[in-house]
Amino acid sequence: MAAGAWRSLYRDFCYKRAFSSPIASARHCSSTAETAPKIPHFSKKGRLLTGATIGLLIAGGAYVSTVDEATFCGWLFNATKLVNPFFALLDPEFAHTLAVSAASRGWVPREKRPDPSNLGLEVWGRKFSNPIGLAAGFDKNAVAVDGLLALGFGFVEVGSVTPVPQEGNPKPRIFRLRQEGAIINRCGFNSEGIVAVAKRLGAQHGKRKLDETSSSSSSTNDEVKQGGKAGPGILGVNLGKNKTSEDAAADYVQGVHTLSQYADYLVINVSSPNTPGLRMLQGRKQLKDLVKKVQAARDEMQWGEEGPPPLLVKIAPDLSKEDLEDIAAVTLALRLDGLIISNTTVSRPDPISKNPVAAEPGGLSGKPLFSVSTNLLKEMYILTRGKIPLIGCGGISSGEDAYKKIRAGATLVQLYTAFAYGGPALIPQIKAELAECLERDGFKSIIEAVGADCR
């Protein structure tokens, strides 16, 4: 019946085109004394090609209209794989800017399919639909939060954001090691500053509140709402210090005062290798003094029923056993809300060391970082006795990788480099693979699997 309707539509379309154009009218006008001009005819091959194209369009439209939303959504995500080779031809930083711009304009697929039920979890009183997040560094200035969350991430972390705008290090500063699935960057906290980011997040927050108010009448009171201040997903804000700043604590405190009202959690980034002297703040005394000041700044602000946003620290993978013990001690003593493990590494493990690009200074991310960061994660889970949530970051490119991080002690995980290479199609793939891993090993939820290799 549907096919008949499409054929009828096609007939009507062709009939109207034939008898409504000025040329067709001239052909059928018998009252004029002038000879009608000769009409150029398309070749038989041209007519066949045109007819075939129209037929394909109509048939395609008819078929798509019968496809369910989940299948169509899957097509859209898979279609993004066709764009990846184009991005690979571009300068790395320009490709990154283009990707962020596309997400900010909504030129990316939107995930309409529900996440597997065994991926949902609650951390810090916030409900995550899944534990897969986007690490800081991708959307440094919070221009594409809605578009990135719509891709299906459980949470997105923006930043690092510095108090005063700064350009970062000279370009070029991002280098691909495609065969190794890695990237070296030395961006150096290029940021538009906290004022610009606060205005942007404030506008987005106001729009979401308006949307929630207008749609509240259509939702029932017993619905479980996932997400936080960023609507459907959780928003983290990563804070950095300015390169020329002499008072690091003052920079982080300023970030807390300006941005914490828009964040579901805050991160003190003391581990970027591209800001001189920053990693010195990971020392026991320095870290303790810094965290105390930042916690005090957060707690002196007025908060509603939800309370203040959790405070986390992001640490480096290039730490000694003593360094890890010091950080764990500070974390437990000050009741820090969590740690992100880890940032990029300044080391060049094999086979990276054999690549000429490895000589470029900066932090290495991607697959070569996986083992180093996962071992560090496991050590920190043991040192903190599983008492605080850990976010595993570094080298994740599959659901199996994410699962290994969780078994090593991570409650949540983050991607960056694999997403830069694989694009949006990687997100549903990782979630599906992770759900299968849990089911395979008899875990009913993420929480059950956290730290399984440390027991």
> In this structure, what token pair is assigned to residue 102?
């596309």
CA distances from 149 to 95, 108, 238, 427 (A): 20, 11, 16, 11
Please name the residues in contact with 260: beta carbons below 8 A apart, sequence gap of 6 or more.
Answer: 237, 266, 298, 301, 308, 309
Rounded Cα distance between 104 and 190, Å, is 18
List Cβ neighbours of 188 (8 Å cut-off, separation of 6 or more). Answer: 166, 168, 169, 173, 243, 272, 274, 275
Number of other residues whose CB lies within 10 A of the CB of residue 242: 19
DSSP state of 131: S
Which residues lie across from 201 on neighbouring strands?
Answer: none
Q: Is 339 helix (H, G, I), strand (E, B) or coil?
A: strand
366 and 180 in contact (C-beta within 8 Å)? Answer: yes
3-state DSSP assignment of residue 95: helix
* DSSP-derived pairing of the beta strands 182-185 and 234-239: unpaired
3-state secondary structure of 309: coil
* β pairing state of 174-177 and 155-161: unpaired
Radius of gyration of the chain (CA): 27
Q: Is 121 helix (H, G, I), strand (E, B) or coil?
A: strand
State the CB neighbour count (10 A cutoff) for residue 298. Answer: 18
Please tell me whether residue 324 adopts helix, strand or coil conformation.
helix
In the structure encoding, which two tokens stand for residue 277, read together? 């002297």
3-state secondary structure of 28: coil
Catalytic residues: 272
Both tokens of 438, joined, read 């849990």
Structure-token pair, residue 354: 């054999």
